[in-house]
A and B are shown apart, each in its own frame.
Chain A
Amino acid sequence: MMQPTTDKSSIDSLLEKLGEYFADMPASELMNPNVLTMSKDRTLWHTKELMRIRKISGVPIVDQKRRLIGLVSIEDIIVALENELIGERIEKHMTRRVVTVAPDETLTSVVAKFNRYRFGRFPVVNSEGTLLGIITKKDIIGAILERFRLMYVHDERRKSALEGTTEWFEKSLISGDYVEKDSANFAFNIDYTDVDMVGIGAAELKKFLIARGLDEQSVRRISIATYEAEVNVVIHSGSEGTIYCWMENGKTVKVRVEDTGKGIENIEQALKEGYSTASDHVRELGFGAGMGLSNMRRCSDKMMVMSEVGKGVVVEMIFEISGGKKDDSERSN
């Protein structure tokens, strides 16, 4: 099978580097589930046409129960063209011994397979042999980039937090630079003692952003995301908190909401829509539906959450103002 025509070396080194952070991502998260397939009764000419029209470099061949029985790659097509076999049935010429990946195989294992076999793609197949999706290097990078938008930091930065320094409290989660809180264009201390006061910080920030002439759409999503972050401080942290906002050259707005309270025990779980540890009292106030973090994620262009139990939570969100405006209707993810 052929390699895709992308710049191979740069992709490989990128994958290697990112691999450390995403080593445990399962194939089911990396794969493209919308894979085009064909039945063995069609001809190679049909496969060639599908590849040409959809610009793909390999087509899994499945039976009626969607079990993988083979694969036709561009290389198979070239051989068929050379030997004038292009009109023959797929069944006769497809690659039958396909190297596949299980849905729970990790990124590390998938990358190792790319290196070992030098194939351009691996079908993802469950234990019954049913085709679930396909993974190309492009799919891996896409899945990683999607996850980058929201990364739970449990790498070196988390380690330094565990070692007793609270350095991450002083540093930007996204850029790693020291946060100059004094230079913030906006700062608001969150009063956690009165639940009725929740949202005032977000409302103040909204006023501030409008006064700065920011467009309505951007102000709206920044306020919504900040509101949710503020709610989290009030209902969950049991500590004081602060909202900081920096406007960087009119193109980027950075919001950082931090507290020194209880912290989040399981961020992965907290990020799931519908998951909530809120009390009934909080629910009566219309919050605690388990949508806070996902709402924040939806409204921001980049978001990072860092937490350590007993030390607090820092949420950092980046909003791109010009050009990179995120479609607010993107809610079904």
Chain B
Amino acid sequence: MTLKEVADLLNCNVLSGEDDLDKIAVESVGASDLMSDVLAFGSPGMLLITGLNSPQCVRTAAVVGACGVLVVRKREVLDNTVKLAKDLGMPLLYAPTSMYKACGVLYSQRLKDARELNG
């Protein structure tokens, strides 16, 4: 599944990396608000779903080699988060849905669990 398909499924606003979304394959998905948790379980190529809307979510995603970030739940994504995503070339999606729903929709698409992939 590509990031573009994820964005369509969840009616996401694409805040960064729009042009390449259909070229990026989502290899697995992980969801957490705890960045330390993401650093611990994150696997390369994962899509990070988080309720965190500050720049840390993008930076953490970059460090673990995630393919993109999907911010959920929050009313908005901070400007400096969007700016950082653009600077780092990290696709950034936003959907005002709950994390539960976002995860459920993607899980039902049989996307893999990043945590399981990482042992």
Contacts and interface: CB of A to CB of B under 8 A. Distances in A.
A216 B33 CA distance: 25
Nearest to B57: A286
Interface residues of A, number: 28
Nearest to A283: B34
B44 A227 contact: no
A220 interface: yes
Contacts of B33: 286
B64 interface: yes
Interface in A174-215: 196, 198-200, 202-203, 206
Contact of A328 (B38, B54, B118): B118
Interface in A279-333: 285-292, 295, 298, 328-331
Q: How large is the interface on B (under 10, 10 to 19, 20 to 34, 35 or more residues)?
A: 20 to 34
Nearest to B63: A223
A258 interface: no
A142 B20 CA distance: 50
A289 B36 contact: yes
A228 B59 contact: no
A199 to B, nearest CB: 4
B55 interface: yes
Contacts of A223: 63
Contacts of B38: 286
Contacts of B118: 328-329, 331
Contact of B88 (A196, A203, A285): A203
B119 A220 contact: no
A224 interface: yes
B16 interface: no
A175 to B, nearest CB: 27
Nearest to A227: B63
Nearest to B32: A286
B8 interface: no
B72 to A, nearest CB: 14
Contact of A291 (B36, B62, B80): B36
Contacts of B41: 331
B80 A227 contact: no
A63 to B, nearest CB: 38
Interface in B29-88: 33-41, 44, 50, 52, 54-57, 59-60, 62-65, 80, 88
A208 to B, nearest CB: 13
A289 B37 contact: yes
A298 B54 CA distance: 26
A58 to B, nearest CB: 34
A202 B63 contact: yes
Nearest to B88: A203
A200 B37 CA distance: 19
Contact of B37 (A206, A227, A291, A330): A291
Given A231-B36, A287-B35, A330-B119, 10 more contacts: A198-B59, A199-B55, A203-B59, A285-B35, A285-B52, A287-B56, A291-B39, A291-B40, A292-B36, A331-B41
List the 3 closest A-B pairs by CB distance, nearest first.
Answer: A329-B119, A286-B35, A199-B59
Interface of A: 196, 198-200, 202-203, 206, 216, 220, 223-224, 227-228, 231, 285-292, 295, 298, 328-331
